[in-house]
Chain A
Protein backbone atom coordinates (compact mmCIF):
# COMPACT_ATOMS: atom_id res chain seq x y z
CA UNK A 1 0.00 0.00 0.00
CA UNK A 2 2.87 2.35 0.83
CA UNK A 3 4.27 1.48 -2.58
CA UNK A 4 1.06 2.49 -4.31
CA UNK A 5 0.65 5.84 -2.63
CA UNK A 6 4.31 6.37 -3.41
CA UNK A 7 3.71 5.62 -7.11
CA UNK A 8 0.69 7.91 -7.17
CA UNK A 9 2.64 10.69 -5.47
CA UNK A 10 5.54 10.24 -7.86
CA UNK A 11 3.32 10.37 -10.96
CA UNK A 12 1.53 13.48 -9.68
CA UNK A 13 4.87 15.12 -8.94
CA UNK A 14 6.24 14.24 -12.38
CA UNK A 15 3.12 15.59 -14.09
CA UNK A 16 3.12 18.87 -12.23
CA UNK A 17 6.84 19.63 -12.37
CA UNK A 18 8.31 21.42 -15.38
CA UNK A 19 7.84 19.55 -18.61
CA UNK A 20 5.30 17.20 -17.03
CA UNK A 21 2.52 18.35 -19.34
CA UNK A 22 -0.33 18.50 -16.81
CA UNK A 23 -1.32 22.01 -17.92
CA UNK A 24 -1.15 21.25 -21.63
CA UNK A 25 -4.42 19.34 -21.77
CA UNK A 26 -6.19 22.15 -19.96
CA UNK A 27 -4.93 24.83 -22.36
CA UNK A 28 -5.78 22.60 -25.32
CA UNK A 29 -9.34 22.11 -24.01
CA UNK A 30 -9.71 25.85 -23.49
CA UNK A 31 -8.51 26.81 -26.98
CA UNK A 32 -10.39 24.02 -28.75
CA UNK A 33 -13.67 25.08 -27.14
CA UNK A 34 -13.10 28.73 -27.93
CA UNK A 35 -12.47 27.84 -31.60
CA UNK A 36 -15.97 26.40 -32.00
CA UNK A 37 -17.86 29.74 -32.15
CA UNK A 38 -15.51 30.76 -34.96
CA UNK A 39 -16.45 27.63 -36.88
CA UNK A 40 -20.22 27.40 -36.31
CA UNK A 41 -20.92 31.12 -35.99
CA UNK A 42 -21.82 33.30 -32.99
CA UNK A 43 -25.59 32.55 -32.94
CA UNK A 44 -26.39 31.76 -29.25
CA UNK A 45 -29.05 29.19 -30.23
CA UNK A 46 -26.61 27.20 -32.40
CA UNK A 47 -23.90 27.40 -29.76
CA UNK A 48 -26.24 26.14 -27.05
CA UNK A 49 -27.13 23.22 -29.29
CA UNK A 50 -23.53 22.15 -29.96
CA UNK A 51 -22.24 22.97 -26.47
CA UNK A 52 -22.67 19.51 -24.85
CA UNK A 53 -21.00 17.68 -27.74
CA UNK A 54 -18.24 20.24 -28.06
CA UNK A 55 -17.37 20.17 -24.37
CA UNK A 56 -17.36 16.40 -24.29
CA UNK A 57 -15.24 16.04 -27.44
CA UNK A 58 -12.88 18.71 -26.12
CA UNK A 59 -12.47 16.86 -22.83
CA UNK A 60 -11.94 13.60 -24.65
CA UNK A 61 -9.23 14.96 -26.96
CA UNK A 62 -7.51 16.79 -24.10
CA UNK A 63 -7.38 13.57 -22.09
CA UNK A 64 -5.85 11.82 -25.11
CA UNK A 65 -3.09 14.40 -25.44
CA UNK A 66 -0.84 13.21 -22.61
CA UNK A 67 -1.68 9.51 -22.80
CA UNK A 68 1.20 8.41 -25.00
CA UNK A 69 3.66 9.37 -22.25
CA UNK A 70 1.87 7.32 -19.60
CA UNK A 71 4.14 4.28 -19.96
CA UNK A 72 6.56 5.50 -22.63
CA UNK A 73 8.93 7.43 -20.36
CA UNK A 74 8.94 4.57 -17.84
CA UNK A 75 9.73 2.17 -20.67
CA UNK A 76 12.54 4.31 -22.05
CA UNK A 77 14.36 4.92 -18.77
CA UNK A 78 14.14 1.35 -17.48
CA UNK A 79 11.56 2.08 -14.75
CA UNK A 80 9.09 -0.37 -16.26
CA UNK A 81 11.57 -3.26 -15.84
CA UNK A 82 11.92 -2.52 -12.16
CA UNK A 83 8.16 -2.00 -11.71
CA UNK A 84 7.56 -5.46 -13.19
CA UNK A 85 9.98 -6.96 -10.65
CA UNK A 86 8.40 -5.13 -7.69
CA UNK A 87 6.11 -6.96 -5.28
CA UNK A 88 3.12 -4.81 -6.32
CA UNK A 89 0.95 -6.60 -8.93
CA UNK A 90 1.12 -5.06 -12.39
CA UNK A 91 -2.69 -4.76 -12.49
CA UNK A 92 -2.62 -2.50 -9.45
CA UNK A 93 0.27 -0.48 -10.88
CA UNK A 94 -1.55 0.17 -14.16
CA UNK A 95 -4.72 1.21 -12.30
CA UNK A 96 -2.69 3.59 -10.14
CA UNK A 97 -1.06 5.18 -13.16
CA UNK A 98 -4.46 5.68 -14.82
CA UNK A 99 -5.76 7.25 -11.61
CA UNK A 100 -2.79 9.63 -11.57
CA UNK A 101 -3.55 10.52 -15.20
CA UNK A 102 -7.17 11.28 -14.34
CA UNK A 103 -6.19 13.41 -11.34
CA UNK A 104 -3.79 15.48 -13.45
CA UNK A 105 -5.86 15.80 -16.65
CA UNK A 106 -9.49 14.75 -16.11
CA UNK A 107 -10.13 16.55 -12.85
CA UNK A 108 -8.79 19.97 -13.97
CA UNK A 109 -10.94 19.70 -17.12
CA UNK A 110 -14.03 19.26 -14.98
CA UNK A 111 -13.21 22.45 -13.10
CA UNK A 112 -12.80 24.38 -16.35
CA UNK A 113 -15.80 22.87 -18.19
CA UNK A 114 -18.62 24.93 -16.53
CA UNK A 115 -16.81 28.18 -17.39
CA UNK A 116 -16.47 27.09 -21.00
CA UNK A 117 -20.12 26.01 -20.82
CA UNK A 118 -21.09 29.62 -20.10
CA UNK A 119 -19.08 30.86 -23.10
CA UNK A 120 -20.94 28.37 -25.31
CA UNK A 121 -24.32 29.46 -23.92
CA UNK A 122 -25.04 26.09 -22.32
CA UNK A 123 -28.40 26.08 -20.53
CA UNK A 124 -27.81 26.89 -16.82
CA UNK A 125 -29.86 23.89 -15.68
CA UNK A 126 -27.52 21.61 -17.66
CA UNK A 127 -24.35 22.84 -15.92
CA UNK A 128 -24.72 20.51 -12.94
CA UNK A 129 -25.28 17.59 -15.28
CA UNK A 130 -22.24 18.55 -17.34
CA UNK A 131 -20.09 18.41 -14.22
CA UNK A 132 -21.71 15.16 -13.08
CA UNK A 133 -21.31 13.47 -16.46
CA UNK A 134 -17.67 14.52 -16.79
CA UNK A 135 -16.97 13.46 -13.21
CA UNK A 136 -18.44 10.04 -13.88
CA UNK A 137 -17.29 9.61 -17.48
CA UNK A 138 -13.72 10.93 -17.63
CA UNK A 139 -12.18 8.26 -15.33
CA UNK A 140 -13.25 5.78 -18.02
CA UNK A 141 -11.41 7.84 -20.62
CA UNK A 142 -8.19 7.73 -18.59
CA UNK A 143 -8.47 3.98 -17.99
CA UNK A 144 -9.27 3.14 -21.64
CA UNK A 145 -6.40 5.39 -22.70
CA UNK A 146 -4.11 3.63 -20.25
CA UNK A 147 -4.94 0.36 -22.00
CA UNK A 148 -4.06 1.93 -25.36
CA UNK A 149 -0.83 3.30 -23.91
CA UNK A 150 0.10 -0.16 -22.60
CA UNK A 151 -0.57 -1.69 -26.02
CA UNK A 152 1.59 0.85 -27.86
CA UNK A 153 4.47 1.18 -25.37
CA UNK A 154 7.82 0.57 -27.00
CA UNK A 155 6.61 1.58 -30.46
CA UNK A 156 8.33 4.50 -32.10
CA UNK A 157 5.75 7.21 -32.82
CA UNK A 158 3.11 5.18 -31.03
CA UNK A 159 1.07 8.31 -30.29
CA UNK A 160 -0.91 8.25 -33.52
CA UNK A 161 -1.57 4.54 -33.29
CA UNK A 162 -2.71 5.10 -29.71
CA UNK A 163 -5.28 7.67 -30.88
CA UNK A 164 -6.52 5.38 -33.63
CA UNK A 165 -6.88 2.52 -31.14
CA UNK A 166 -8.47 4.47 -28.34
CA UNK A 167 -10.81 6.96 -30.03
CA UNK A 168 -13.28 4.32 -31.27
CA UNK A 169 -13.39 2.88 -27.74
CA UNK A 170 -14.37 6.33 -26.45
CA UNK A 171 -17.58 6.38 -28.51
CA UNK A 172 -19.96 4.82 -25.92
CA UNK A 173 -18.69 7.15 -23.19
CA UNK A 174 -19.04 10.13 -25.51
CA UNK A 175 -22.60 9.22 -26.54
CA UNK A 176 -23.81 8.71 -22.98
CA UNK A 177 -21.90 11.68 -21.55
CA UNK A 178 -23.03 14.19 -24.17
CA UNK A 179 -26.58 12.78 -24.16
CA UNK A 180 -26.86 13.38 -20.41
CA UNK A 181 -26.10 17.06 -20.90
CA UNK A 182 -28.38 17.37 -23.97
CA UNK A 183 -31.32 15.84 -22.07
CA UNK A 184 -30.74 18.17 -19.14
CA UNK A 185 -30.60 21.19 -21.50
CA UNK A 186 -33.89 20.09 -23.07
CA UNK A 187 -35.51 19.90 -19.67
CA UNK A 188 -35.85 16.09 -19.65
CA UNK A 189 -34.68 13.74 -16.93
CA UNK A 190 -31.08 12.67 -17.70
CA UNK A 191 -30.67 10.41 -14.66
CA UNK A 192 -31.09 7.10 -16.48
CA UNK A 193 -28.48 8.07 -19.11
CA UNK A 194 -26.12 9.13 -16.36
CA UNK A 195 -26.68 5.79 -14.61
CA UNK A 196 -25.78 3.98 -17.83
CA UNK A 197 -22.64 6.11 -18.10
CA UNK A 198 -21.73 5.17 -14.53
CA UNK A 199 -22.22 1.48 -15.35
CA UNK A 200 -20.02 1.82 -18.42
CA UNK A 201 -17.27 3.57 -16.45
CA UNK A 202 -17.38 0.91 -13.72
CA UNK A 203 -17.06 -1.79 -16.37
CA UNK A 204 -14.03 -0.02 -17.89
CA UNK A 205 -12.42 0.48 -14.46
CA UNK A 206 -12.84 -3.20 -13.69
CA UNK A 207 -11.51 -4.57 -16.97
CA UNK A 208 -8.75 -2.32 -18.26
CA UNK A 209 -6.12 -2.75 -15.50
CA UNK A 210 -6.02 -6.49 -16.21
CA UNK A 211 -5.91 -6.04 -19.97
CA UNK A 212 -3.20 -3.38 -19.68
CA UNK A 213 -1.09 -5.54 -17.35
CA UNK A 214 -1.30 -8.41 -19.85
CA UNK A 215 -0.35 -6.05 -22.69
CA UNK A 216 2.67 -4.76 -20.75
CA UNK A 217 3.87 -8.29 -20.03
CA UNK A 218 3.78 -9.01 -23.76
CA UNK A 219 5.58 -5.77 -24.59
CA UNK A 220 8.38 -6.49 -22.15
CA UNK A 221 9.04 -9.94 -23.56
Chain B
Protein backbone atom coordinates (compact mmCIF):
# COMPACT_ATOMS: atom_id res chain seq x y z
CA UNK B 1 0.00 0.00 0.00
CA UNK B 2 1.34 3.37 -0.91
CA UNK B 3 0.55 6.86 -2.07
CA UNK B 4 2.72 8.34 -4.79
CA UNK B 5 2.27 11.86 -6.09
CA UNK B 6 4.51 13.37 -8.74
CA UNK B 7 4.52 16.57 -10.81
CA UNK B 8 1.40 17.80 -9.04
CA UNK B 9 0.51 21.18 -10.50
CA UNK B 10 -2.71 22.98 -9.76
CA UNK B 11 -4.22 26.26 -10.88
CA UNK B 12 -7.27 27.93 -9.40
CA UNK B 13 -8.98 30.82 -11.21
CA UNK B 14 -5.90 31.21 -13.39
CA UNK B 15 -3.51 31.48 -10.44
CA UNK B 16 -0.78 28.89 -10.03
CA UNK B 17 -1.07 27.41 -6.54
CA UNK B 18 0.91 24.18 -6.62
CA UNK B 19 3.83 23.54 -8.90
CA UNK B 20 5.58 20.24 -9.60
CA UNK B 21 5.05 18.78 -6.14
CA UNK B 22 6.24 15.26 -5.47
CA UNK B 23 5.59 13.35 -2.28
CA UNK B 24 4.38 10.01 -1.11
CA UNK B 25 3.89 7.74 1.82
CA UNK B 26 3.89 4.02 2.48
CA UNK B 27 1.66 1.81 4.61
CA UNK B 28 1.74 2.84 8.25
CA UNK B 29 3.15 6.28 7.48
CA UNK B 30 1.76 9.76 7.90
CA UNK B 31 2.76 12.84 5.99
CA UNK B 32 2.28 16.27 7.53
CA UNK B 33 1.80 19.16 5.12
CA UNK B 34 3.33 22.25 6.65
CA UNK B 35 3.51 25.83 5.53
CA UNK B 36 2.10 29.29 6.18
CA UNK B 37 -1.58 30.20 5.59
CA UNK B 38 -2.49 30.42 1.93
CA UNK B 39 0.39 28.31 0.68
CA UNK B 40 -1.93 25.69 -0.77
CA UNK B 41 -2.19 22.94 1.85
CA UNK B 42 -5.96 22.59 1.48
CA UNK B 43 -5.76 22.77 -2.31
CA UNK B 44 -3.08 20.09 -2.23
CA UNK B 45 -5.31 17.79 -0.16
CA UNK B 46 -8.32 18.48 -2.40
CA UNK B 47 -6.20 17.77 -5.47
CA UNK B 48 -5.06 14.44 -4.01
CA UNK B 49 -8.73 13.68 -3.21
CA UNK B 50 -9.61 14.50 -6.82
CA UNK B 51 -11.93 17.32 -5.81
CA UNK B 52 -10.07 19.99 -7.77
CA UNK B 53 -8.59 19.54 -11.24
CA UNK B 54 -4.83 19.14 -11.31
CA UNK B 55 -2.16 17.81 -13.57
CA UNK B 56 0.45 15.26 -12.59
CA UNK B 57 0.35 11.67 -11.49
CA UNK B 58 -1.48 10.68 -8.33
CA UNK B 59 -1.57 7.02 -7.40
CA UNK B 60 -2.90 5.22 -4.38
CA UNK B 61 -2.12 1.50 -4.08
CA UNK B 62 -1.16 1.56 -7.75
CA UNK B 63 -4.52 2.97 -8.90
CA UNK B 64 -4.19 6.25 -10.77
CA UNK B 65 -6.66 9.06 -10.08
CA UNK B 66 -6.48 10.13 -13.73
CA UNK B 67 -7.12 6.64 -15.15
CA UNK B 68 -9.74 5.20 -12.85
CA UNK B 69 -11.34 7.78 -10.63
CA UNK B 70 -13.94 5.49 -9.07
CA UNK B 71 -11.42 2.77 -8.16
CA UNK B 72 -9.08 5.43 -6.76
CA UNK B 73 -11.84 6.86 -4.59
CA UNK B 74 -12.30 3.41 -3.02
CA UNK B 75 -9.01 3.98 -1.21
CA UNK B 76 -9.46 7.45 0.22
CA UNK B 77 -11.43 9.25 2.90
CA UNK B 78 -11.40 13.03 3.06
CA UNK B 79 -12.21 15.28 6.00
CA UNK B 80 -12.05 18.93 5.04
CA UNK B 81 -12.88 22.17 6.83
CA UNK B 82 -16.60 21.45 6.58
CA UNK B 83 -17.96 18.57 8.61
CA UNK B 84 -20.80 17.57 6.23
CA UNK B 85 -23.24 17.40 9.13
CA UNK B 86 -26.99 17.98 8.85
CA UNK B 87 -28.08 20.02 11.88
CA UNK B 88 -31.66 18.64 11.84
CA UNK B 89 -30.54 15.02 12.19
CA UNK B 90 -29.22 13.39 15.34
CA UNK B 91 -25.56 12.45 15.60
CA UNK B 92 -26.44 8.77 15.14
CA UNK B 93 -28.56 9.49 12.04
CA UNK B 94 -25.79 11.61 10.55
CA UNK B 95 -23.19 8.93 11.03
CA UNK B 96 -25.47 6.01 10.08
CA UNK B 97 -26.09 7.73 6.75
CA UNK B 98 -22.38 7.91 5.98
CA UNK B 99 -21.75 4.38 7.12
CA UNK B 100 -24.59 3.09 4.86
CA UNK B 101 -23.29 5.10 1.92
CA UNK B 102 -19.74 3.85 2.28
CA UNK B 103 -20.93 0.29 2.73
CA UNK B 104 -19.55 0.02 6.24
CA UNK B 105 -21.10 -0.49 9.60
CA UNK B 106 -20.14 0.29 13.15
CA UNK B 107 -21.64 3.75 13.49
CA UNK B 108 -22.16 3.10 17.19
CA UNK B 109 -18.57 1.93 17.66
CA UNK B 110 -17.34 5.07 15.89
CA UNK B 111 -19.45 7.28 18.15
CA UNK B 112 -17.93 5.48 21.13
CA UNK B 113 -14.47 5.97 19.67
CA UNK B 114 -14.89 9.74 19.59
CA UNK B 115 -16.67 9.91 22.94
CA UNK B 116 -20.01 10.86 21.38
CA UNK B 117 -22.11 7.89 22.54
CA UNK B 118 -23.91 9.95 25.23
CA UNK B 119 -24.93 12.56 22.67
CA UNK B 120 -25.94 10.09 19.96
CA UNK B 121 -29.64 10.93 19.90
CA UNK B 122 -29.30 14.69 20.17
CA UNK B 123 -29.87 16.79 17.04
CA UNK B 124 -26.53 17.94 15.66
CA UNK B 125 -27.62 21.57 15.82
CA UNK B 126 -27.43 21.46 19.61
CA UNK B 127 -23.79 20.33 19.55
CA UNK B 128 -20.73 22.53 20.00
CA UNK B 129 -18.18 23.13 17.26
CA UNK B 130 -15.80 20.65 18.85
CA UNK B 131 -18.48 17.96 19.10
CA UNK B 132 -19.39 18.48 15.44
CA UNK B 133 -15.74 18.21 14.51
CA UNK B 134 -15.53 14.91 16.37
CA UNK B 135 -18.57 13.68 14.45
CA UNK B 136 -16.90 14.76 11.20
CA UNK B 137 -13.83 12.74 12.15
CA UNK B 138 -15.93 9.75 13.22
CA UNK B 139 -16.93 9.51 9.55
CA UNK B 140 -13.36 8.37 8.83
CA UNK B 141 -13.83 5.43 11.15
CA UNK B 142 -17.01 4.21 9.39
CA UNK B 143 -15.71 4.77 5.85
CA UNK B 144 -12.87 2.24 6.31
CA UNK B 145 -10.45 3.60 3.75
CA UNK B 146 -6.65 3.19 3.54
CA UNK B 147 -5.70 6.78 2.97
CA UNK B 148 -7.00 9.55 5.20
CA UNK B 149 -6.75 13.09 3.84
CA UNK B 150 -7.22 15.43 6.78
CA UNK B 151 -7.42 19.19 6.58
CA UNK B 152 -6.70 20.75 9.99
CA UNK B 153 -8.40 17.85 11.82
CA UNK B 154 -7.75 19.24 15.31
CA UNK B 155 -9.47 22.62 14.83
CA UNK B 156 -11.83 23.37 17.75
CA UNK B 157 -10.83 20.19 19.60
CA UNK B 158 -9.75 20.39 23.24
CA UNK B 159 -6.50 18.81 24.45
CA UNK B 160 -8.18 15.63 25.67
CA UNK B 161 -9.95 15.09 22.35
CA UNK B 162 -6.80 15.80 20.36
CA UNK B 163 -5.20 13.00 22.38
CA UNK B 164 -8.15 10.70 21.65
CA UNK B 165 -8.00 11.56 17.95
CA UNK B 166 -4.23 10.96 17.91
CA UNK B 167 -4.92 7.52 19.38
CA UNK B 168 -7.43 6.72 16.61
CA UNK B 169 -4.97 7.97 14.01
CA UNK B 170 -2.17 5.86 15.49
CA UNK B 171 -4.38 2.76 15.44
CA UNK B 172 -5.21 3.50 11.78
CA UNK B 173 -1.51 3.77 10.90
CA UNK B 174 -0.57 0.67 12.88
CA UNK B 175 -3.24 -1.23 10.98
CA UNK B 176 -1.39 -0.40 7.74
CA UNK B 177 -3.28 2.80 6.92
CA UNK B 178 -1.85 6.04 5.61
CA UNK B 179 -2.61 9.68 6.29
CA UNK B 180 -1.82 13.02 4.71
CA UNK B 181 -2.55 15.78 7.19
CA UNK B 182 -2.45 19.55 6.89
CA UNK B 183 -1.86 20.82 10.40
CA UNK B 184 -0.17 23.51 12.44
CA UNK B 185 -0.18 21.37 15.55
CA UNK B 186 2.52 18.86 16.41
CA UNK B 187 0.57 15.62 16.58
CA UNK B 188 2.21 12.95 18.69
CA UNK B 189 2.50 10.47 15.84
CA UNK B 190 5.51 9.29 13.88
CA UNK B 191 5.30 11.34 10.68
CA UNK B 192 7.32 12.92 7.94
CA UNK B 193 7.03 16.64 7.32
CA UNK B 194 6.50 18.02 3.85
CA UNK B 195 6.94 21.77 3.63
CA UNK B 196 5.02 23.69 1.01
CA UNK B 197 6.55 26.94 -0.17
CA UNK B 198 4.77 29.80 -1.95
CA UNK B 199 4.87 29.38 -5.72
CA UNK B 200 6.32 32.21 -7.74
CA UNK B 201 4.03 32.59 -10.71
CA UNK B 202 5.28 34.92 -13.41
CA UNK B 203 1.72 35.53 -14.58
CA UNK B 204 1.15 37.22 -11.18
CA UNK B 205 3.72 39.86 -12.10
CA UNK B 206 2.04 42.49 -14.26
CA UNK B 207 5.33 43.50 -15.89
CA UNK B 208 6.37 39.98 -16.85
CA UNK B 209 2.84 38.96 -17.81
CA UNK B 210 2.68 41.98 -20.11
CA UNK B 211 5.96 40.99 -21.73
CA UNK B 212 4.50 37.69 -22.95
Contact = CB atoms under 8 A, between A and B. Distances in A.
Contact of B84 (A17, A19, A81, A221): A81
B80 A85 contact: no
B53 interface: yes
B22 interface: no
Contacts of A6: 96-97, 100-101
A45 interface: no
Chain A contact patch, size range: 20 to 34
B97 A10 contact: yes
A41 interface: no
Main secondary structure of the interface of B (DSSP, over half): loop
B78 A77 contact: no
Nearest to B85: A77
Contacts of A84: 51, 73
Contacts of A13: 88-89, 93
B55 interface: no
Given A3-B100, A14-B89, A86-B101, A77 B80 contact: no
Interface in B62-104: 70, 73-74, 76-78, 80-86, 88-89, 93, 96-98, 100-103
Contacts of B78: 81-82, 85
A82 B73 contact: no
Q: Which among B53, B80, B98 has the greatest number of chain A C-beta atoms within 10 A?
A: B98
Contact of A17 (B53, B85, B88, B97): B88
A78 interface: yes
A168 interface: no
Interface string A53-84: 00000000000000000000000111101111
A167 interface: no
Contacts of B89: 10, 13-14, 17
B51 A3 contact: no
Contact of A85 (B76, B86, B103): B76
Contacts of B138: none
Contacts of A10: 86, 89, 93, 97
Interface in A168-221: 220-221
A109 B76 CA distance: 42
Contacts of A77: 82-86
B52 interface: yes
Interface of B: 49-53, 70, 73-74, 76-78, 80-86, 88-89, 93, 96-98, 100-103, 139
Given A81-B51, A87-B101, 6 more contacts: A5-B100, A17-B88, A81-B82, A82-B78, A82-B139, A85-B77
29 contacts: A3-B102, A10-B86, A10-B89, A10-B97, A14-B88, A18-B88, A19-B88, A77-B82, A77-B85, A78-B82, A81-B51, A81-B82, A82-B84, A82-B98, A82-B139, A85-B76, A85-B77, A85-B78, A86-B73, A86-B101, A87-B70, A87-B73, A87-B101, A87-B102, A88-B101, A220-B52, A221-B51, A221-B52, A221-B53
